[in-house]
Amino acid sequence: MVKRITHELKEHVPFTALGAVSGIVVMVVVVLGNVPSHISQTAFFVSHPLHVLLSALVATAMYMRYRKAKFWVAVLIGWTGSIGVATISDAIIPYLGGTLLHARMEFHVPFIEEWWINFLALTGIAIGYRRQTTKIPHFGHVLISTWASLFYFTAFGIADWIHLLPYVFLFLFLSVWIPCCASDVIYPLLFVRKEPELPSPERQEMAG
């Protein structure tokens, strides 16, 4: 399992960094364009629910790929793996990051304040249960999660963000890299008794 986790973390570094760069570009546009905070809030409450949907889909699909289980088990794993990790990634880490940077931050728990987000998690679980596809949804999950974390900064924080961009990049990277890997890969595989093998070059060639 440790080998699998290490492999997944390494695999996710490049496009997690790319996602963080895209987030920084969006933040520059938002700050220099003096975009009102209520627009950032709207963007957050669009990107965060999409993050939950994709996270639930991928976590459930990953679990079902390696272990066929009853639907209620998939619901339990998919819901906790998406709602819990998405809240950490999109709200808690940005809040703590902004606080450490001495920004004036508001704290929000989206799935409690906006109860309908839970239904998106259930939708993602249903899709992942029936169709075990992970690659494209996971990439979308990483990108959407980056933007959700970014918009939490600009929607619920007040600071001179331009001068803090290097630190914001670090927090964006960390808020996506470890939590998204944990949600999509590590967490569901913890419930699989037999550790899945990494595909060998021979198997990859046969699969192609």
More confident residue, 61 or 43: 43
Please, which residues have CB within 8 angstroms of residue 68's CB and are 6 or more apart in sequence? Answer: none
Long-range contacts of residues 30-38, Cβ cutoff 8 Å, at least 24 apart: 30/154, 31/154, 31/161, 31/162, 32/162, 35/154, 37/154, 37/155, 37/156
pTM exceeding 0.85:
no
CB atoms within 10 A of CB 110: 21
- Give pLDDT, residue 185: 65
Asked if 105 contacts 98 with a C-beta cutoff of 8 angstroms, the reply is yes
The model's pLDDT over 148-199, given as tens digits with 9 standing for 90+, comes to 999 999 999 998 898 999 999 999 888 877 776 666 666 666 666 555 454 4
Dump the DSSP string for 83-116.
IIHHHIIIIIHHHHHHHHTT-EE----HHHHSTT
Q: How far is CA 124 from CA 49, 71, 118, 133, 191, in A?
A: 11, 13, 10, 11, 19
Averaged pLDDT of the chain: 81
